[in-house]
């Protein structure tokens, strides 16, 4: 299938955007990009370091800029940082330029996948599980607002998830 728009993955930290995105890109013969990785590549420092030096606001400014630039490129599969939907401008941009996939997972699943991670500054708090719960409550409506397709990642393997997404993207294309 040939994509004429970007395929954009959104969802909370630990939902599998990068892993699924890479496989999906391979299946669909599209380039893969990751907005967080692009920020790290450009700045030459880690995301925790950006949060430490510039605060979350500084990181969000960089994120907005990188998103706008990446969306000007050829069609691609784009994995975004979990907070990309916080900006109204970002939400408008991704809806306009992409078919948006929301990888939805329960707080328990997200917690299992992120609990040993030191690379996510928002989870370096006394009660990271509670923080994830709060982020889920705040952001689930925003992910739903931008999503063309929502998939519950559940217990299925990454391969079967990718397979399901390719099928749904095909259907989406036929009906659009």
| Residues 132, 38, 78, 91, CA torsion sign | positive
Chain positions 35 to 74 lying near ligand S3P, rule: CB under 6 A, are 36, 47
Shorter beta-carbon distance to ligand S3P: residue 46 or 173: 46
- As measured in angstroms, the least distance from the Cβ of 171 to ligand S3P is 27
- As beta bridge partners, residue 103 has 151
Shorter beta-carbon distance to ligand S3P: residue 36 or 109: 36
Shorter beta-carbon distance to ligand S3P: residue 122 or 158: 122
- As measured in angstroms, the least distance from the Cβ of 54 to ligand S3P is 12
121-130's contacts with Cβ under 8 Å and 24+ in sequence apart are: 121/47, 121/48, 121/51, 121/52, 121/56, 122/13, 122/56, 122/83, 123/13, 124/48
Binding mask 72-91 for ligand S3P (x = CB under 6 A): ---------xxx--------
Chain positions 91 to 130 lying near ligand S3P, rule: CB under 6 A, are 120-122
Provide the 10 A C-beta neighbour count for residue 159.
11
- CA–CA dist 90, 60 (Å, integer): 10
Which residues in this chain contact ligand S3P in the complex, by CB under 6 A? 13, 17, 36, 47, 81-83, 120-122
């Amino acid at each position: 299938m040939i994509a004429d728009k970007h395929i954009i993955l959104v969802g909370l930290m630990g939902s599998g955007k990068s892993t699924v995105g890479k496989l999906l890109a391979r299946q669909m013969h599209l380039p893969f990009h990751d907005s967080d990785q692009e920020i790290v590549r450009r700045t030459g420092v880690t995301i925790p370091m950006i949060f430490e030096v510039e605060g979350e606001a500084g990181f969000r400014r960089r994120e907005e800029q990188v998103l706008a630039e990446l969306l000007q490129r050829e069609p691609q599969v784009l994995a975004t940082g979990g907070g990309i939907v916080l900006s109204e401008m970002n939400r408008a941009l991704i809806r306009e330029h992409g078919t948006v996939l929301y990888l939805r997972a329960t707080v328990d699943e997200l917690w299992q996948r992120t609990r040993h991670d030191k690379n996510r500054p928002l989870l370096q708090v006394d009660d990271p599980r509670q923080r994830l719960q709060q982020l889920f409550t705040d952001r689930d409506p925003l992910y739903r607002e931008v999503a063309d397709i929502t998939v519950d990642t559940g217990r299925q393997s990454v391969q079967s998830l990718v397979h399901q997404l390719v099928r749904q993207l095909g259907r989406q294309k036929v009906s659009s």
